[in-house]
Amino acid sequence: MGILTDTYTLNTGATIPKIGFGTWQIPNGEEAYNATAFALQSGYRHIDTARVYGNEESVGKAIRDSGIARAEIFLTTKLPAEVKNYEEALEKFETSIKTLGVDYVDLYLIHAPWPWSDRGGDYTEGNIQAWKALEEIYKSGRAKAIGVSNFNSTQLQSILDNGTVVPAADQIRFFIGFTQDETTQFSQDQGILIEAYSPLATGRILNNPDVKKIADKYDKTVAQVSIRYTLQRGTVSLPKSTHEEYILQNADVDFEIDAEDMAFLDGLTDTEE
Ligand code: A2P
């Protein structure tokens, strides 16, 4: 499964495996531990978690117990979305590192531009303050790269205008039919890597007949076509699963969707968004 060791290069110069194991909604304890351990055993070398997922403890333990050198694993966690000030951002990072039981993370992201309880609210100043903390952490070497999540182009521009470090990544919801083209284009133009979370639309895409048609043509599953699509769009793909069969299947995406089929998939729109 060569694809699991294929990488992009971040604007820091560090490499990042193109496929990461997403751990959103995997409960702390046995479930997160086993899923992460299995992903690592299966060759995944990129694990994506967040303080708010509540599973940093089990994810970190699975990484430490894996016997794989820390340097060979790319680990991301995220600053809770409601933290919009410098001091608390520094504190929350400490909590994450301690809970994960690691000396550093490879990528630390501001989880969202606004608290989840106030989606769409304007936290421009708070994001600038939080970003200052991330820059500090980056300069200390304890986050090898820093970035954001769920930011649109305006919110990214404000970080570019007010910060001294260009975000390395923007992790956004991205799947066939929902590709946030403006944000994606803006980021890619700025050398900010787009990371696709929910590449399967949290499972909803699995019943999409248009994608199924393409999957049948390539003798692949809808999940595999969906993940492959995100990779061919130049994004990191972060599929989440707790089933061993799926964890393996989602990494078996070493095939090529041709230009015509990519164009067809690009043209689909997700009616539920
Ligand atoms: P589960 O976690 O029960 O294994 P996304 O990555 O877009 O957030 O989607 C995750 C959802 O898709 C989860 O419900 C997950 O199920 C399911 N899933 C992940 N991989 C596959 C797959 N290869 N086939 C079918 N369902 C999958």
Q: Is 53 a catalytic residue?
A: yes
Average pLDDT over residues 15-33: 98
The answer to whether position 15 is within a domain reads yes
The answer to whether position 115 is within a domain reads yes
- pTM, two decimals, is 0.97
Q: Please name the residue whose Cα sits nearest to atom 22 of ligand 1.
A: 246
Average pLDDT over residues 79-106: 98
For residue 125, give its domain range. 2-203+234-242
In the predicted structure, residue 75 carries a pLDDT above the cut 60 = yes
Residue 197 Cα to ligand 1 midpoint, Å, equals: 12
Radius of gyration from C-alpha coordinates of the chain: 18
Looking at residue 2, its pLDDT comes to 81
For 39-66, the pLDDT digits (tens) are 999 999 999 999 999 999 999 999 999 9
Q: Please name the residue whose Cα sits nearest to atom 12 of ligand 1.
A: 203
Average pLDDT over residues 102-117: 98
For 129-152, the pLDDT digits (tens) are 999 999 999 999 999 999 999 999
The answer to whether position 40 is within a domain reads yes
The answer to whether position 141 is within a domain reads yes
The answer to whether position 268 is within a domain reads no
The answer to whether position 248 is within a domain reads no
The answer to whether position 103 is within a domain reads yes
Pocket test for ligand 1, best of 178, 241, 249, 253 (most atoms within 8 A of CB): 241
The answer to whether position 255 is within a domain reads no
Residue 116 Cα to ligand 1 midpoint, Å, equals: 23
Active-site choice (53, 108, 138, 229): 53
Pocket of ligand 1 (CB under 6 A): 22, 198-203, 206, 221, 223, 239-243, 246, 249-250
Residue 54 Cα to ligand 1 midpoint, Å, equals: 19
CATH number of the domain within which 169 lies: 3.20.20.100
Total structural domains within the chain: 1
